Structure 1
């Protein structure tokens, strides 16, 4: 059995502005980089394989918290938000014609216009999961994390999620024969 720990990248200017980033390649904001540089992985995760989404914000986060260069995996790139990319979620929610739904009301097959559904994200993650052969940390995005955590907890994107995705925490799952199971509470990064 393999342990997979997933962690969300640090804040970017678009996060702070409430803009949907999706696949737009936004770097970390200066303060987020400084904050992450003061943190590191817990001792028992120091030697795990390290992989990141190829987007700058994930690669930067991986480097800062580990002190090493991550491998990158295209499968970990953020969910495609299609026509909503760069827009503010609050603006979309206020526009009754936008088709916007909160993620808790998506189900597995809802997709933003010209975007990607959770089921499609899951399908592109599955071949990557099958390549893992030892404990691994994946630095990625909230959309990726929600799909993996949904698989690990049985959440179906219908109603409140049984987890909250917070920053600076490892969400640890066990991967056994293609099945993910969430293991306990998130593990905080530690001060250097």
Structure 2
């Protein structure tokens, strides 16, 4: 059996201000570092093969939670938000001509200006997913998680999502055939 647990990276200053990060390499903020250092993986995920996006916020999250250096793969790099990187989604949604939409209205072919569609992101992920064996943990980004979970849940980015991506939780999937467990698993507090 091949399983994959997905973990979203910790907060950055851009997350907290509502800015779209995409491929911009924004580091974790100090509050996130302190919080993540207090967490550990639930069993049996401590022994899983550890993967990460090459972006520093994901690599450092993996290191803080596991105490190990992850293998990185470019397929796990966040969705390319093109011209919207650095901008706030709330500001874009207020501009009727911006083209910005809430996730429930995307569809698989929704493209930010000079960016990447969810379908293109999925195509980028498929070779990496097919190369996995055993238990794997990937520390990555909300866009990566949404695309993988959308496929696992059979959601087409139309209407409310059947899942909500939260921090400090593992979203676990069986990959053959692809299906997601209904409830995420919380990280555990380290014992002082």
Report if TM-score (shorter chain) is over 0.5: yes
In structure 2, the partner of 1:188 is 186
State the match for 1:56 in structure 2. 56
* Preserved contact between residue 20 and residue 81 of structure 2 (Cα < 8 Å): yes
Tell me the CA shift for residue 133 of structure 1.
1.3
Match of 1:129? 129
Question: Shift in Å at residue 43 of structure 1?
Answer: 2.3
Using the size of structure 1 for normalisation, the TM-score is: 0.98
Q: Hey, what's the Cα distance between the residues in 1 that align with 2:10 and 2:137?
A: 15
Offset, 1:184: 2.9
Shift of 1:103: 1.3
SS of the residue corresponding to residue 47 of structure 2 reads coil
Report the alpha carbon displacement of residue 180 of structure 1 after superposing the two structures with TM.
Answer: 1.6
Q: How many residues align?
A: 190
Matches within 5 A, 1:36-185: 36-176=36-176, 179-185=177-183
Q: Distance in 1 between matches of 2:182 and 2:96?
A: 39
User: Structure 2: where are the runs of 5+ without partners?
Assistant: none
In 2, Cα distance between equivalents of 1:163 and 1:27: 26
Q: Please list every run of at least 4 consecutive aligned residues from structure 1 whose deviation after the TM superposition is greater than 4 angstroms.
A: none
- CA distance in structure 2 between the aligned counterparts of 1:110 and 1:28, rounded to whole angstroms: 28
Q: 1:186, 1:91 → 2: CA distance? A: 31
Residue 32 of structure 2: aligned partner: 32
Other-structure match for 1:17: 17
- CA separation in 2, counterparts of 1:116 and 1:102? 16
Q: Does structure 1 conserve the Cα–Cα contact (< 8 Å) formed by 2:3 and 2:133?
A: no
Aligned equivalents of 1:122, 1:148: Cα separation in 2: 7
Q: CA deviation at 1:105?
A: 0.4
Superposition RMSD in Å:
0.6
